[in-house]
Amino acid sequence: MKSWLTATLTAQAAIITEFEASVHEGFPPVVDMVSERKDTWNTLSGLPLPESEPPGDGQHQSRPPAGEPPFTRGIHGSMYKSRFWTMRQYAGFSSAQETNQRFKLLLERGQMGLSVAFDLPTQLGMDADDELSYGEVGKVGVAISSVEDMKILFDGIPLDKVSTSMTINAPAMVLLAMYIVAAEEQGAHQSELRGTIQNDILKEYIARGTYVFPPKESMRLITDIFEYCTNHVPKWNTISISGYHIREAGSTAVQELGFTLANALAYVDAAIEQGLDIDDFAPRLSFFFNCHNDFFEEISKFRAARTLWHDLLKERYQPASEKSLKLRFHTQVAGVSLTAQQPLNNVSRVTIQALAAVLGGTQSLHTNSFDEALGLPTEESATVALRTQQIIAEESGAADVVDPLGGSWFVERLTDVVYAEAKSLIDQIESRGGAMAAIEQGWPQQQIHNSAYRHLNDVENNRRRIVGVNHGVMDEQRSIPVMKIDPTLGERQCAALAQLRENRSHNDVEKALLSVFTAASNGENLFPHVIHAVRVRATLGEIVGQMKAVFGTYMAPSGF
C-alpha cells in the first residue's frame, strides 16, 4: 500500500503542479487523482455542447464569464472542464491506526484529498488521559494527543504529496504544528505542505461550541498562524471560514452566507491590524459551506457568495492582486438533512445536494454517508458516498459545462436576491460593531435559534414535508449495520501517553512549555514555540494548558 500511494501521489502531484502554474492559477493546492481532461464535449447522443458564453436573459445584464470579476459564474474560466473538484471525504474515528486504514482505503478507491475529523477531547485541547475525556476518546473522530499519534495517522502516506484538511479550531495551532513535525520526520519540509486547517473560532461561539479561549485571545492565535504560514508554510490554507456549522445549527441559506462573510471580514481586519498585507494572506483564505435540500437556492447561494466576497473586499481593502478577490470554497452536504428513518433515502438527498454544489462551482466536496444519522460511516456507506461524486463527475455531464445554469432567469434572479439579503445581514452586523461585537451581544446566535425554531415548527405542523419523517412514513423492517468503536480505546490511548511521558526528556519538555507560556505572555508569535514543544514530545493538553494559564478560558453568557 505504501509504495502504491507514494507512486500515485507523486505522479499526480506533478500533474497538478503543472496545472496550477497555468490553467488553474490560484486554485486551492491539492493533489488530484485525475489526469488532464479532454478538449471536446458531447452529449450521450453525440451532440456537441455549446461553448460557454456570458448569459443574458433579457432582464439581467450579461454577467462576465467564469474566471473574470466578480466571479459569479466561477473563479476559473474552464472550471471542471480542465479538472474536477477535489473529492475530499471527511474521515476520522477511534485510533490513529484505524483512521489511517480508512484513509488508505479511500485513496485507493479514488479520493483526491484527506480530511480529518478529530474526537471531542482533541477539539477541546485535552489529552486522552484527561479526566474530562473519559468516555469520549475516539467517539466522533480520531484521538490525537501527541505528534506520535499524528505520525501513526499518516503512516505510509507521503505528506509532501497529499493535501490534507483538518477540522480543528481552538487548538488548531497545536495540531498544525504536529502535522508539520510529522512531515519533517518523514523527510518533508514544511514549505512543501499543502492543505487547510479550519481555524475558524468565531463560528464556534456562534453555532458549534468547541471554543477554549476568550474571543480576543483566540483571534491572536489565528493571526499568529497567518503570519507564520505566510513566511514558512506558504502553500497552506490558514483558515477555512465555515458557514457549514452555522447552517447545521438551524440558520437559513441567507444567514449562513451573511454570518460567514461577516466573520471573514473580522479575520481580515484582525490580520491587517497585525501588520499583514491583504495580498499576503487573502489568497490563502478559503470557505466551507453547507449544501442543503433546496436545489436552486443552494446553487444561487454559491454564485452570490463569490460575487459578494469580491465586492466586499474590493470596496473595503482595494487589494492589488485579483487572487485576493476570489472566494474559494469546500462544500459538505447537509448532515442535518439526513434521517434515521428510512436511511437509504439519504442516498437520494446526498446526490441532489452534491449536484447542487457542483453546479454552484465548488472547489472540493464531501458527500455524507447514508448511515450517518445512526452512527459513524461504515466502509460500505463511505464508498457509496465517494462513488456518488464520481458518478456526477464522470457520467452526468454536469462537469462538462461552465456554469450550466447561468442565464436561467430563475437562478440569475435568485442569485441577486440572496446577494441582497446577505449584504443586508452584513450591514446589520456592521452596525452592531462587527462580527465580534455582535457575537458578544448574542445577536447572530438568536437569529439562528429563531430560524431553527421556525423550521422545526413547520415540520411538526406538516407545513414542510420530510419523506420518512412526516410524509411517506412506513414500518421499517431492514436493519442498517452501524459501526462501533472499540470500548478499550480510551485505556490504550492512556497507556500510550504514559509511555510517551516516560521516554521523553522531561527537561526539554519543561523548557519548551515555559517558552510557550512566555510567548503567550509577551505577545511574541506563538507558533515557533509550539512547534518546538511538539518536537520534544509535549502533548496537546500540556501545550494548551500553558495557553490557558495566560489567556484563561471562556464560557458564553447564559442564553446564547
pLDDT in tens, 301-319: 999 999 999 999 999 999 9
Question: CA 75 to CA 108: how far, in whole Å?
Answer: 29
Backbone angles phi, psi at 122, to 5 degrees: -65, -45
Contacts for 141 with CB less than 8 Å, ≥ 6 apart? 92, 93, 116, 117, 118, 119, 120, 122, 123, 167
Name the residue with higher pLDDT: 106 or 160: 160
Backbone angles phi, psi at 504, to 5 degrees: -85, 170
Strands (DSSP E) found in 155-230: 163-167, 194-197
In the predicted structure, residue 28 carries a pLDDT above the cut 70: no
335 half-sphere exposure, CB direction, 13 A CA radius: 17
Give residue 64's pLDDT band: very low, low, confident or very high (50, 70, 90). very high
Lowest-confidence segment of 134-148, 244-258, 471-485 by average pLDDT: 471-485
In the predicted structure, residue 51 carries a pLDDT above the cut 80: no
Backbone angles phi, psi at 546, to 5 degrees: -65, -35
Residue 303 C-alpha cell reads as: 454564485
Return the pLDDT at 13: 42
Return the pLDDT at 36: 55
In the predicted structure, residue 424 carries a pLDDT above the cut 50: yes
Question: CA 516 to CA 528: how far, in whole Å?
Answer: 9
Mean predicted lDDT score pLDDT of the chain = 89
Return the pLDDT at 53: 57
Lowest-confidence segment of 282-286, 352-356, 530-534, 546-550 by average pLDDT: 282-286
Angle ∠(253,294,368) on CA atoms, nearest 5 = 90
Q: What value does the mean pLDDT take over residues 121-145?
A: 95
Lowest-confidence segment of 102-116, 218-232, 509-523 by average pLDDT: 102-116
Q: pLDDT tens, 408-422? A: 999 999 999 999 999
Structural domain 75-460, CATH architecture = Alpha-Beta Barrel (3.20)
Return the pLDDT at 16: 35
Return the pLDDT at 481: 82
Question: Exposed, middle or buried, 481 (CB in 10 Å: 0-12/13-18/19+)?
Answer: exposed
Return the pLDDT at 482: 81
Least Cα distance to 237 among 182, 189, 185, 176 occurs for: 176
> What are the structural domain ranges in the chain?
75-460
Residue 361 C-alpha cell reads as: 462551482
In contact, 123 and 518? CB cutoff 8 Å: no
Burial string for 532-548 (b: 16+ CB within 10 Å, else e) reads: bbbbbbbbbbbbbbbbb
Return the pLDDT at 5: 47
Residue 78 C-alpha cell reads as: 474552464
Contacts for 73 with CB less than 8 Å, ≥ 6 apart? 54, 55, 63, 64, 65, 66, 303, 361, 402, 403, 406
Q: What value does the mean pLDDT take over residues 120-144?
A: 95
Residues 33, 38, 43, 44, Cα dihedral to 10°: -60
In the predicted structure, residue 24 carries a pLDDT above the cut 50: no
Lowest-confidence segment of 74-78, 86-90, 237-241, 257-261 by average pLDDT: 86-90
Question: CA 511 to CA 505: how far, in whole Å?
Answer: 10
Name the residue with higher pLDDT: 61 or 21: 61
In the predicted structure, residue 446 carries a pLDDT above the cut 50: yes
